[in-house]
Amino acid sequence: MDRFNVGPIVVLGAGINGAAIARELTLQGAEVLLVDAEDLAGGTTSYSSRLIHGGLRYLEYAEISLVRESLTERDRLLRLAGELVHPLELVIPVGNRFSGLISGAQRFFLKSGAAPKDGRGSLVIRLGLSLYDRFASGAVPNHRRLTSSQFAESGLNSSKFFTAFSYFDAQLTFPEQFVLAMVQDAQAAAKEEGGAFSMRTYQHVRREAETLFFSSIHPNHDSGEIAITPAAVINAAGPWVDTALAGLNVPSARLIGGTKGSHLITRAPDLCKTLGPRGVYAEAADGRPIFILPWNDACLIGTTDIRYDGDPAEAVASNEEIDYLIDATNSIFPEVGLTREDIQQHYCGVRPLPAVGEGSTSSITRSHVVHRHPGAPFPLYSIIGGKLTTCRSLAEDVVKAVLPDLGHDVARNSRERPLPPPYFGETPLEGPLLPDVNVPVPHVAYAIEHLAAKTLADLVERRLMLVFHPDLSRVCLRALGEQLSAAGWLDAAQIDQEVDHYVARLQKRYGKRVS
């Protein structure tokens, strides 16, 4: 294909969708600049449910094409990203046989209707699971019904449920590292295909006519503005899509109507033992689906689905949401007796769903849309929706929309391209370790030098995944601060103050106490 000679394609938003789009574009030989107002994977990606799934409940709303796409991508990730994505067995407890038939038909044909008061019955669930199996490729086992002895040993509430079904989806333990892997693969693809890939985080973007100006907002880094005349701009800012358009001074109707989802993390021994290696996908008292998953040597409980109009960066799990998830867990596993004291931390993210009117949040589509803005000063596209599972197919759709507008054909795609885990450089066999968490110090240095880590939050929450480590300490945070200082991202005299600020952030945003 002809080389791109019309300037860089700018991707705004370095979450899972932005990184996937950047990777897909570099495979075409394009020049790509990936930009974020904060850090890689710093938004919805980091606060997701960490599931790679076909969307079983989407069948209720007749979103057959979305389920097919999601299952295809689930199975592709299991095959091509096996070190990051692994199969996960899920159990659906059932309390009756016939409930949900009428309301399910209303949702399927009319896209409306409340969840059944008595939960979804075995007939509805078995029908959905049978369709699920049919649409999948056979990468994981088909669904089955638990035997009576298996149900008795499951710990499920026998006064509420009489049987349960098992099926498989998949889990992505750390979506943050998935994004890192895609960024590293974008760098590799650029070299292979003769294009270019660069990335700028913590950036302020402004527009004058057809030119974009980028400048650093990091307090210890001021390299002045750079000016770029883009070939195209792809707005993949997630729940900040409308904010990004306003910053570009591009008029638009509201595109995003986000909902927030909160999650709990617990290491309560009774729950973890009862749950074992299988997750549970059930319903809360109000009919909303929730899950309880084995995850990262702990249990992950989620999620809520509440309309949210504030700044996504300020979304936190409320007391009401925490109580809601604890109560739902105890109604499923009454012998566990989960309490507030059992919750180690929580997190909350905002889904970048399309703006719609009033109604059930569950009925809002999870499909993605590539929206072109007519009359913009350059080809401009906003990405509405999207989720972890379909990030690659979303990126492929974006490339199919953008390249023809630029006079280029789509030459290749990532459908068969493996995605290895992120690379953190060579680690000496006897290299030093961070105190209390036993992570190699060279990993820290590599993340700062090569993976754009500039703050404590970058390192703890999105490179080394220490935010979930039960032994994270101030001593460890100070050692990380010293590494940032040595690289010029933090003044040595400010390390203790920065650690204090970050400990306060962990308490506010995650409910996490640091020793």
Q: What is the dihedral of CA 409, 410, 412, 417, to 10 degrees?
A: 160
User: Contact at 8 Å (CB) between 181 and 392?
Assistant: no
Mean pLDDT is lowest, of 184-198, 209-223, 329-343, for 209-223
Q: What span, in angstroms and rounded, lies between the C-alpha atoms of 360 and 188?
A: 43
Inform me whether the pLDDT recorded for 105 exceeds 50: no
pTM here is 0.95
Residue range 233-266, pLDDT digits in tens? 999 999 999 999 999 999 999 999 989 999 999 9
Structure token digits, residue 230: 């883009």
Q: Convert the pLDDT of each residue in 277-318 to its tens digit.
A: 999 999 998 888 999 999 999 999 999 999 999 999 999 999
User: What's the whole-number mean pLDDT along residues 188-214?
Assistant: 96
More confident residue, 4 or 417: 417
For 152-166, 168-182, 186-200, 360-374, which range has the lowest pLDDT when averaged over its residues? 360-374
pLDDT at 367: 85
Work out the average pLDDT over 142-160.
96
Query: CA 349, CA 342: separation in Å to the nearest integer?
Result: 22
The pLDDT tens digits of the residues spanning 324-342 come to 999 999 999 999 999 999 9
Query: What pLDDT was estimated at residue 69?
Result: 96
Beta-strand pair 196-200/9-12: unpaired
CA 232, 365, 17, 511 torsion-angle sign: positive
100 pLDDT more than 70? no
User: What pLDDT, in 10s, does the model give residues 391-431?
Assistant: 999 999 999 999 999 999 999 999 999 999 999 999 888 88
Residue 113 has a pLDDT of 55
Residue 16 reports pLDDT greater than 70: yes
* Nearest to 452, CA basis, from 267, 165, 239, 184: 184
| pLDDT beyond 80 at 272 | yes
Q: Measure the N-to-C terminal CA separation of the chain; round to a whole number of Å.
A: 56
Task: With a cut of 80, say whether residue 173 has pLDDT above it.
Answer: yes
| 3-class state of residue 320 by DSSP | helix
